[in-house]
C-alpha cells in the first residue's frame, strides 16, 4: 500500500494555544525529526518505491552488527528507530538526506499513526461497552458477567470474533484529518490540532494526507 511522504516523531504531550480571535485551540506537541534517509528503494531495483527513515540516535552497543552495516551505507550514524514508508512514485530524496518538520506547513491536513495506550486485560463491559445485568432482585454475582456465548448443537462452538473479555489497547491506530497549527523548525516541533494516538514519548508517524 503506497503512502505519502512522512516523518517520525515523539509525542511530548498536549497543551493549548490561542488563535488570532482569542479562541483556545487544543494541540498535541510532537517533536519530529530530523530523520535521515537510511535506504532508498526503487521500482527497478527492489520492485517497489520506498524510503527508510530513522529517529533517535543510539549507541553502538545497542545496535546489532547487521544493522550497523546497514546504517553505515547511509553514513548518518546509528539509530534506535527505523521505519519504511512506501511511496507511489520514485523517491526524490537521497541517501543520508535529513527530513525535517519544514516539509509541513501551517493548515496542512495530516494523518498520524501510533501505538494506542495499553489498558491490559479488561472485561466486556469496559472493553465493548456492554450494559451488564440489572442491579435489582434476581441477579446474584453476575452483574458484570459475559452472559451466554454458546448456541445449539450445530455448529456447537463459539464463533470467531465474539466480543469477550481480553487484551485492550496497544494497537496500531491511525488518526485522520488532523490539522497542523504551527511548525517550529528551530525546535523540531509540530503543533497538531486534536489528539494523537499513543502515550507521552510514544513513537508516531506523521504523513501528508
Look at residue 13 and give its three-state secondary structure.
Answer: strand
Residues of the chain with CATH 3.30.160.810: 34-99
Q: Rounded CA gap, 34 and 190, in Å? A: 12
Cell of 134: 440489572
Q: Is the peptide bond before 155 cis (omega within 30 degrees of 0)?
A: yes
Q: Rounded CA gap, 1 and 46, in Å? A: 15
Is residue 207 within 8 A of residue 85, CB to CB? The reply is: yes
The one-character DSSP state at 103 is G
pLDDT at 153: 84
pLDDT at 2: 56
| DSSP count for the chain of H helices, then E strands | 3, 12
Q: Rounded CA gap, 82 and 89, in Å? A: 21
Q: Rounded CA gap, 193 and 29, in Å? A: 9
Cell of 39: 535506504
Q: Rounded CA gap, 181 and 193, in Å? A: 6
Q: Rounded CA gap, 205 and 11, in Å? A: 10
pLDDT in tens, the chain (209 residues): 557 889 999 999 999 999 889 999 999 999 998 999 999 999 999 999 999 999 999 999 999 999 999 999 999 999 999 999 999 888 888 999 999 999 999 999 999 999 999 999 999 999 999 998 888 888 888 899 888 888 888 888 888 999 999 999 999 999 999 999 999 999 999 999 989 999 999 999 999 98
Strands 120-122 and 166-168: antiparallel
Is domain 34-99 annotated with CATH 3.30.160.810?
yes
Residues of the chain with CATH 2.40.30.10: 1-33+100-118+169-209
Half-sphere exposure of 203 (CA within 13 A, CB side): 13
Q: Rounded CA gap, 193 and 23, in Å? A: 13
CATH of domain 1-33+100-118+169-209: 2.40.30.10
Amino acid at each position: 500500500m503506497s503512502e505519502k511522504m512522512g516523518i517520525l516523531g515523539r509525542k511530548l504531550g498536549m497543551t493549548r494555544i490561542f488563535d488570532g480571535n482569542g479562541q483556545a485551540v487544543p494541540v498535541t506537541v510532537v517533536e519530529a525529526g530530523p530523520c535521515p534517509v537510511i535506504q532508498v528503494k526503487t521500482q527497478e531495483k527492489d520492485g517497489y518505491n520506498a524510503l527508510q527513515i530513522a529517529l533517535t540516535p543510539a549507541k553502538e552497543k545497542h545496535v546489532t552488527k547487521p544493522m550497523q552495516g546497514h546504517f553505515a551505507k547511509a553514513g548518518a550514524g546509528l539509530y534506535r528507530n527505523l521505519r519504511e514508508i512506501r511511496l507511489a512514485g520514485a523517491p526524490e530524496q537521497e541517501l543520508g538526506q535529513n527530513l525535517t518538520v519544514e516539509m509541513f506547513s501551517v493548515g496542512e491536513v495530516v494523518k498520524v499513526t501510533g501505538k494506542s495506550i495499553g489498558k491490559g486485560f479488561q472485561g466486556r463491559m469496559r472493553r465493548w461497552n456492554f450494559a451488564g445485568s440489572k442491579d435489582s432482585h434476581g441477579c446474584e454475582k453476575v452483574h458484570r458477567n459475559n452472559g451466554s456465548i454458546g448456541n445449539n448443537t450445530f455448529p456447537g462452538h463459539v464463533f470467531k470474533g465474539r466480543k469477550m473479555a481480553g487484551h485492550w489497547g496497544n494497537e496500531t491506530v491511525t488518526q485522520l484529518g488532523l490539522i497542523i497549527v504551527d511548525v517550529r523548525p528551530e525546535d523540531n516541533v509540530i503543533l497538531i490540532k486534536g489528539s494523537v494516538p499513543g502515550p507521552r514519548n510514544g513513537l508516531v508517524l506523521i504523513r501528508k494526507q
